[in-house]
Amino acid sequence: FCRPAFYQIYKKKTSEGFQSLPYVISLFSALLWIYYALLKRNEMHLIIINIFCCFIQSFYIVTYFYYGRKKEKVEAVKLMLLFNVFGSGLIFFSTYFLHNPKTRLCILGYICLGFSASTYAAPLAIVRKVIKTKSVEFMPFTLSV
């Protein structure tokens, strides 16, 4: 159920070396898909899947926040505000005022697609840390395969 990174965080009681960015982006992506499904109507499967994803990602972020140092907590809060508050608000208001529902759905669909792709690209930020520290300690095995 838990990702290996969060098992390590729980076991070591510290989030040292791990970043919150992949989990914040994944939560943001799930929120966007819920908004898309609500606008599209009759997309209950999308809503259910992404509510589950929101629950899981929120659990990961709370765990990260609980075991993080002050600097890591501040960074996680900044990312949450940037993506999940400011980003969601910006996308909501910019698409809300489009009068043509088909255009609104099309634009929102492309935005959702872009952030879904970034959900899988976000863990690559770990590669930067590996290069910087010259240590693969924090690199998940599945990312290196």
Whether 85 is in a domain gets the answer yes
Quote the Cα angle for 88-91-96, to 5°.
120
- pTM equals 0.78
Whether 14 is in a domain gets the answer no
Query: Please, which residues have CB within 8 angstroms of residue 17's CB and are 6 or more apart in sequence?
Result: 129, 137, 138
H/E segment holding residue 4: helix 4-12
Q: Is 124:139 a contact under the CB 8 Å cutoff? A: no
Whether 4 is in a domain gets the answer no
Whether 98 is in a domain gets the answer yes
Query: Please, which residues have CB within 8 angstroms of residue 119's CB and are 6 or more apart in sequence?
Result: 22, 25, 26, 29
Q: Which residues form the domain of 28?
A: 20-144
Per-residue pLDDT of the chain (145 residues; tens, 9 = 90+): 456 666 777 777 777 767 778 888 889 999 999 999 998 888 899 999 999 999 998 988 888 888 888 888 888 888 888 888 898 888 888 888 877 888 888 988 999 999 888 877 766 767 777 788 877 766 665 555 5
Whether 12 is in a domain gets the answer no
Whether 13 is in a domain gets the answer no
Whether 67 is in a domain gets the answer yes
pLDDT of residue 53: 92
Whether 3 is in a domain gets the answer no
Give how many domains the chain has, as a whole number. Answer: 1
